[in-house]
Amino acid sequence: MSELIKTEAIVLHKIKYGDTSVIVTLFTKVLGKLSAIVKGGRNPKSKLGLIVDPSNYLQIVFYNKDSREVQLISSADIIQHYPKLKSDFDSLKYSQAILELVKTLIPEHEANTKLFNGLIRIFSLMDESKELPIILFARFFSFFLAELGYQLQLEYCSRCGKKELSNTELSYNYDLGMFCSSCRNHVLESFTLNAELFSTLVCLKYNKKISGDKTALIEKAIQFMEKHLKHHIPDFKGLHSLKVFNNLTLQLNNK
Ligand SMILES: [Zn+2]
């Protein structure tokens, strides 16, 4: 028996299936991540096929059967779509990276309202250009690490407990956390965090204002968070979408 379910959902990914259909990965509010098919979704006249598209925020109705791997979408309505995420290069790049994080790292069938709301919020902020896409992405990444259970520990030195850590050179060990300048020689494997990178990570984690052009530092913060995640999830090989867009930028600049 299949059960008819109505829920809010964000479309994470879409692929062609057969001659006429599409299969999408959805992050739903009530059932978490799942796959679903839109039959006839590749027909240009299919309204359903058009609106069930990555980054769209929808109200969907689908037939759910736990024994089935792919559920069947019966109808969908747009709650919100974010045009800038499809028209502006950087917004597209970083929104794809957000979708990739959720698609590849969140377990299936586990609802997470906080993450769901965080996703909608970050897309709205990006669509309204409240901050640079790269900064919004880095804020989301920091929040996402915490949701996965790999929150950055930036509050005190893991060895001596010292809390005043700004303005010095620090070390970060992916398992143990932060080490102050006096204790950093006691940790074997670590990543050096200079004062600027440390304060950027604190701003991202605590949603503090970032002023001036900090793009280079934000890039470093993103690389640091990617390394942190790779350490904890060996299957994670880094964000594919960022690589694709960076290569595209190189090609465009060489023309
Ligand atoms: Zn210390």
CATH code at position 119:
1.20.1440.120
CA of 224 to the centre of ligand 1 (A): 21
Task: State the amino acid at position 15 in one-letter form.
Answer: I
CA of 217 to the centre of ligand 1 (A): 24
CA of 240 to the centre of ligand 1 (A): 36
CA of 201 to the centre of ligand 1 (A): 19
The verdict on 140 and 247 lying in the same domain is: yes
Q: What strands, in cross-sheet order, belong to the sheet with 191-193?
A: 177-179, 170-173, 191-193
CA of 209 to the centre of ligand 1 (A): 27
Task: State the amino acid at position 8 in one-letter form.
Answer: E
Q: For the chain, how many structural domains are there in total?
A: 2
CA of 166 to the centre of ligand 1 (A): 12
Distance CA 122, CA 201 (A): 18
CATH code at position 39:
2.40.50.140
CA of 177 to the centre of ligand 1 (A): 11
Name the domain boundary from 81, 100, 133: 81
Q: How confident is the model at residue 196 (pLDDT cuts 50, 70, 90)?
A: very high
The verdict on 97 and 152 lying in the same domain is: yes
Nearest residue to 225 (alpha-carbon basis) of 146, 130, 145, 167: 145
CA of 162 to the centre of ligand 1 (A): 6
CA of 170 to the centre of ligand 1 (A): 9
Question: For 236-240, what is the mean pLDDT?
Answer: 95
Question: For 134-152, what is the mean pLDDT?
Answer: 97
CA of 200 to the centre of ligand 1 (A): 20
Name the domain boundary from 81, 115, 150: 81
CA of 160 to the centre of ligand 1 (A): 4
Contacts of 17 (CB under 8 A, 6+ apart): 23, 37
Q: How confident is the model at residue 167 (pLDDT cuts 50, 70, 90)?
A: confident
CA of 163 to the centre of ligand 1 (A): 9
CA of 226 to the centre of ligand 1 (A): 25
pTM score, whole prediction: 0.95
In tens, the pLDDT along 176-190 reads 999 999 999 988 888
Provide the residue range defining the domain that includes 241.
89-254
In tens, the pLDDT along 42-55 reads 999 999 999 999 99
Contacts of 85 (CB under 8 A, 6+ apart): 55, 91, 92, 95, 123, 126, 127
CA of 194 to the centre of ligand 1 (A): 15
Distance CA 150, CA 106 (A): 13
